[in-house]
């Protein structure tokens, strides 16, 4: 490290970092320890990562470029091991992927993993996947190819198998103070009065009784995931050291999992409390001091008004990226209803936000789909919350006439109708029932996602229209969790058909690559572009406009099982994919789309 680099970076943030830390903990010795340990991690970053830090300090908006394309994947399901993923980098490059999100790979007990989100050791890779050395080799190989690497940092809780948890269970007070341990049942009961349940069907309650040590422990998600007590400065410091250790393995993006839950206070709902933002702001500064090439992706699965605060402010930023979860859920609502009005309102809300805010856009991820929609607006249109949720679930189960979709419910609560939904993108589009329609709809939905501002993220297998995998039901450890329906192994025999235009895999793969390549070549797809929705003359067709540097684009996306004639804005337009020129109106096939560029009369692309 260049002489004084750490000191300069620290000096930029020291006053605010100290003020926030002391406000939270009032512990000067622990703050001094934090600063010294940060120095150690900065000095022990490998030279190749230091050069990456220097370059990205000069190019802080690198993650806002229109050519970024992500893919999230489970290492074992994709290629077996970390070394197997490295062997498949040619495939990922061919798919256009340059941002690789590795789903949880840290050490865990398989029977109590929740897909890897119950971490037993933050410094160790799950043995069947490889080692930390393998991870470094993979990240270096990705960087040489211009690929970024993202990982999950599970900071709300540890596994009950973590060393801290084992020592807490054995009665060591120091370690019990790192969690929420209570011998008096009245305290957990008081929390339960105000804290909602995350999984009321499969994991009811927010506490777990430990008969061997006579204590209750807070477990917001599952009984084997023990919530960390960030009121204890030792917890914050040690978790930041884990964060920096993982950053030093070559990460470019660190996804902070379940971040709204990390601060708990009795008498509240223990969600989105102000001190959560204090912690995230400190994480942002610690990263900029030690590893400024690393950015934060916040997992905040809530409506926009609760999501946006996690960006922080222009002067005091927090997360660099957030998930556009409401648009994802609203997209599937639109598929089921053929009504794009709510989606249009959602996109108008996002478009009105500052352009500094960068969202990660996706159609599917590893998790279930929760129907967190704008029900007050739907109520005005005659759609009530509980019946509408039941309708959506029935549609994607294939129980509504005309629906080809196939999937399964997750955490079905017949009383509230608050079930969530599982299925791959292809299966939710009906690939098993009507492949021709499903291919068209699948590509159209991806075309819409790619037309939005932000980073588009594919879910592994979507590039080849992977189907649901019901074989999880044969595994007793997974059979109770229907999310494994869309977490199946990548069918490499299906991927081998990606160049065969006669197959759904080939049609989707080729369609997505054409879209991704086109997107990268037009400045109006930049995050800084002006974006608005258009009046298409029908609720069944979504229209979106984009403008930057003199380039105007129009995207039209049909959710209708019938052809539509859609009026165009004034001017002449050329199809970005076929070169066809049109003006006045455009013909849209059932479930089809158009990407159009405004051109002068007689001009061609």
pLDDT band at 331 (very low <50, low <70, confident <90, very high): very high
Helix (H) or strand (E) holding 599: strand 593-599
506 is written with which tokens?
């080939």
pLDDT band at 200 (very low <50, low <70, confident <90, very high): confident
C-alpha span between 106 and 355 (Å, rounded): 34
C-alpha span between 313 and 421 (Å, rounded): 34
C-alpha span between 459 and 436 (Å, rounded): 21
* DSSP secondary structure, 540-563, as one string: TEEEEEEEETTEEEEEEEE-SSS-
pLDDT in tens, 254-280: 999 999 999 999 999 999 999 999 999
pLDDT at 201: 78
Q: How many CA atoms within 13 Å lie on the side-chain side of 100?
A: 29
Judge whether 523 and 552 are in contact, CB under 8 Å.
Answer: no
Note the Cα 59 to chain centre separation in Å.
Answer: 24
The architecture CATH gives domain 1-156+233-323: Alpha-Beta Barrel (3.20)
The architecture CATH gives domain 524-599: Sandwich (2.60)
Helix (H) or strand (E) holding 515: helix 504-520
Q: Where in the chain is the domain with CATH 3.20.20.80?
A: 1-156+233-323
Eight-class DSSP state of 410: E
Q: Where in the chain is the domain with CATH 3.90.400.10?
A: 159-227
Judge whether 324 and 361 are in contact, CB under 8 Å.
Answer: yes
Closest by CA to 319, choosing from 282, 289, 271, is 282
Say which residue, 110 or 379, is predicted with more confidence.
Answer: 379
C-alpha span between 561 and 508 (Å, rounded): 19
Q: What is the mean pLDDT of residues 219-235?
A: 97
Examine the pLDDT at 602 and tell me if it is beyond 60: no
Helix, strand or coil for residue 506?
Answer: helix
pLDDT at 362: 97
Q: Buried (b) or exposed (e) across 342-362, using 16+ Cβ within 10 A? A: bbbebbebbbeeeeebbbbbb
Least-confidence region, from 39-48, 119-128, 414-423: 414-423
pLDDT band at 415 (very low <50, low <70, confident <90, very high): low
Q: What is the mean pLDDT of residues 308-320?
A: 94
C-alpha span between 294 and 199 (Å, rounded): 32
Mean of the per-residue pLDDT values of the chain: 95
* DSSP secondary structure, 443-490, as one string: HHHHHHHHHSSSEEEEETTGGGTPPP-GGGGG-TTTTT-GGGGG-PPP
pLDDT band at 604 (very low <50, low <70, confident <90, very high): very low
CA distances from 225 to 108, 325, 426 (A): 11, 24, 32
Q: Where in the chain is the domain with CATH 2.60.40.1180?
A: 524-599
428 strand-pairing partners? none
* DSSP secondary structure, 12-65, as one string: HHHHHHHHHHHHHH--HHHHHHHHHHHHHHHHTS-HHHHHHHHHHHH-TTGGG-
Q: What is the mean pLDDT of residues 550-564?
A: 97
pLDDT in tens, 422-450: 999 999 999 999 999 999 999 999 999 99
C-alpha span between 260 and 155 (Å, rounded): 11
Indicate the class that CATH gives domain 159-227.
Answer: alpha beta
Which residues are identified as catalytic?
257, 299
Q: For the chain, what percent of residues have pLDDT higher than 70?
A: 98
Examine the pLDDT at 115 and tell me if it is beyond 60: yes
Judge whether 534 and 573 are in contact, CB under 8 Å.
Answer: no
Helix (H) or strand (E) holding 570: strand 564-575
pLDDT in tens, 522-542: 999 999 999 999 999 999 999
pLDDT at 480: 87
pLDDT at 603: 53
pLDDT band at 376 (very low <50, low <70, confident <90, very high): very high
C-alpha span between 345 and 377 (Å, rounded): 10
Examine the pLDDT at 414 and tell me if it is beyond 80: no
Judge whether 467 and 473 are in contact, CB under 8 Å.
Answer: no
Q: Is 433 exposed, middle or buried (0-12, 13-18, 19+ CB in 10 A)?
A: middle
Q: What is the mean pLDDT of residues 397-414?
A: 91
pTM for the model: 0.95
CA distances from 34 to 20, 23, 239, 241, 597 (A): 13, 15, 11, 8, 53
pLDDT at 1: 65
Q: What is the mean pLDDT of residues 283-301?
A: 96
173 is written with which tokens?
């007070």
pLDDT at 605: 42
Judge whether 513 and 499 are in contact, CB under 8 Å.
Answer: no
CA distances from 548 to 260, 351, 446 (A): 35, 14, 22
Q: For the chain, what percent of residues have pLDDT higher than 90?
A: 91
CA distances from 124 to 129, 158, 245, 474 (A): 10, 14, 11, 29
- Cβ count near 590 (within 10 Å): 16
Report the relative pairing of strands 157-159 and 181-182 from DSSP bridges: unpaired
Examine the pLDDT at 600 and tell me if it is beyond 90: no
pLDDT band at 302 (very low <50, low <70, confident <90, very high): confident
pLDDT at 203: 86
Q: What is the mean pLDDT of residues 30-50?
A: 98
């Amino acid at each position: 490290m260049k002489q004084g680099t750490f000191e300069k970076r620290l000096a930029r943030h020291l006053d605010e970092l100290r003020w926030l830390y002391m406000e939270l903990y009032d512990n000067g010795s622990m703050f001094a320890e934090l600063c010294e340990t940060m120095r150690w991690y900065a000095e022990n970053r490998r030279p190749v990562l230091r050069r990456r830090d220097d370059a990205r300090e000069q190019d802080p908006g690198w993650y806002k470029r229109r050519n970024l394309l992500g893919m999230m994947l489970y290492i074992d399901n994709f290629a077996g091991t970390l070394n197997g993923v490295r062997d498949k980098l040619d495939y990922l490059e061919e798919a256009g992927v340059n941002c690789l999100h590795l789903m949880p790979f840290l050490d865990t007990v398989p029977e109590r993993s929740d897909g890897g989100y119950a971490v037993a050791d933050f410094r160790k890779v799950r043995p069947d996947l490889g080692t930390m050395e393998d991870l470094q080799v993979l990240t270096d190989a990705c960087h040489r190819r211009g690929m970024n690497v993202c990982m999950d940092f599970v900071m709300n809780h540890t596994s009950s198998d973590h060393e801290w948890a084992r020592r807490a269970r054995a009665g060591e007070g120091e370690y019990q103070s790192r969690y929420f341990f209570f011998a008096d049942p009245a305290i957990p009961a008081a929390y339960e009065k105000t804290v909602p349940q995350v999984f009321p069907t499969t994991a009811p309650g927010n506490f777990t009784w430990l008969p061997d040590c006579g204590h209750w422990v807070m477990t917001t998600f599952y009984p084997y995931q023990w919530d960390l007590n960030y009121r204890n400065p030792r917890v914050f410091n040690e978790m930041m050291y884990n964060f920096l250790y993982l950053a030093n393995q070559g990460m470019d993006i660190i996804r902070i999992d379940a971040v709204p839950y990390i601060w708990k206070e009795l008498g509240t709902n223990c969600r989105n409390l102000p001190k959560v933002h204090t912690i995230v702001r400190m994480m942002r500064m610690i990263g900029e001091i030690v590893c400024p090439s690393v950015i934060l992706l916040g997992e905040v699965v809530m409506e926009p008004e609760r999501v946006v605060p996690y960006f922080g402010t222009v002067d005091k930023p927090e997360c660099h990226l957030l998930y556009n979860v409401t648009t994802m859920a609203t997209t599937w609502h639109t598929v089921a209803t053929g009504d794009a009005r709510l989606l249009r309102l959602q996109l108008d809300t996002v478009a009105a936000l500052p352009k500094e805010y960068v969202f990660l856009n996706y159609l599917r991820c590893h998790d279930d789909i929760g129907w967190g929609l704008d029900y007050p607006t739907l109520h005005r249109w005659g759609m009530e919350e509980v019946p509408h949720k039941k309708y959506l679930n029935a549609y994607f189960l294939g129980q509504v006439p005309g629906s080809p979709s196939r999937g399964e419910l997750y955490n079905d609560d017949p009383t509230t109708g608050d079930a969530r939904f599982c299925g791959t993108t292809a299966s939710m589009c009906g690939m098993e029932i009507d492949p021709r329609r499903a291919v068209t709809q699948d590509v159209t939905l991806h075309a819409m996602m790619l037309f939005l501002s932000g980073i588009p993220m594919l879910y592994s297998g979507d590039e080849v229209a992977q189907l649901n995998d019901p074989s999880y039901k044969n595994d007793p450890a997974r059979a109770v969790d229907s999310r494994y329906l869309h977490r199946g192994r990548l069918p490499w025999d299906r991927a081998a058909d990606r160049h065969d235009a006669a197959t759904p895999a080939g049609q989707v793969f080729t369609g997505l690559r054409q879209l991704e390549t086109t997107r990268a070549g037009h400045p109006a797809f930049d995050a800084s572009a002006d974006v608005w929705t258009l009046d298409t003359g029908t609720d069944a067709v979504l229209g979106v406009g984009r403008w930057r540097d003199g380039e105007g684009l129009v995207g039209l996306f049909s959710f209708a099982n019938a052809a539509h004639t859609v009026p165009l804005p004034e001017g002449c337009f050329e199809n970005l994919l076929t070169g066809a020129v049109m003006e006045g109106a455009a013909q849209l096939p059932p479930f089809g789309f158009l990407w159009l560029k405004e051109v002068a009369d007689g001009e061609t692309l």
